[in-house]
Homo-oligomer: A and B are copies of this chain.
């Protein structure tokens, strides 16, 4: 649903053809999620089928611009007016992974948490670097997208720490022992940082 409405929003600024739409989309969102061109065309075809856009005659240079229709404008207005609910977001793979790790025999949950934490911390640094060492400091849309990722990564690190803390007191369900009984907690908990 994301791209569908994204293209509609871009077309609200004026007529554009596929290649332009991809460039505009990536520019608006800071090239964080590259948009593949094939999907632009298939999405445009679906939008036209649904009456939300209208394709215009191909130009002499072989470009086929599209324009938004009234129905498309209505759809777009609705999109902007409707908040995105938790329910219609994709499953969070990380929390599923952690939840399942807890009940899967032979998995060192703390290792999983720590590996993820390192990766997320690295991502955090890279994002911070991008934020300050960039050539487009004036670009508010881009900065907000970047900030969203920063906020999310920070929350993830906090959650991972929270998981680690919770784990200390966790008595695994019947199965093989984990190799780190709770008597050890103070030692390596303090040593790791």
A68-118 contacts to B, CB under 8 A, are: 76, 79-86, 89-107, 111-112, 115-116, 118
Q: How far is the CA of A16 from the CA of B130 in the complex (A)?
A: 47
The interface stretch among A45-53, A56-64, A136-144, A185-193 is: A136-144
Give the secondary structure class of A's interface: helix
Closest to A150 in B: B159
Contact-size category for A = 35 or more
Closest to A140 in B: B170
A158 within 8 A of partner (CB): yes
Q: How many copies are assembled?
A: 2
Q: Tell me the minimal C-beta distance from A12 to chain B in angstroms.
A: 5
Q: Tell me the minimal C-beta distance from A96 to chain B in angstroms.
A: 6
A19 within 8 A of partner (CB): no
**Known A-B contacts A2-B93, A96-B2, A99-B145; A86 and B153 likewise in contact (beta carbons under 8 Å):** yes
Q: List 5 A-B contacts (CB under 8 A).
A: A12-B104, A29-B100, A80-B104, A90-B90, A95-B149
Contact with B along A139-164 (1 / 0, CB 8 A): 01111110111011111101100110
A10 within 8 A of partner (CB): yes
Choose from B12, B101, B144 the contact partner of A98 (Cβ within 8 Å): B144
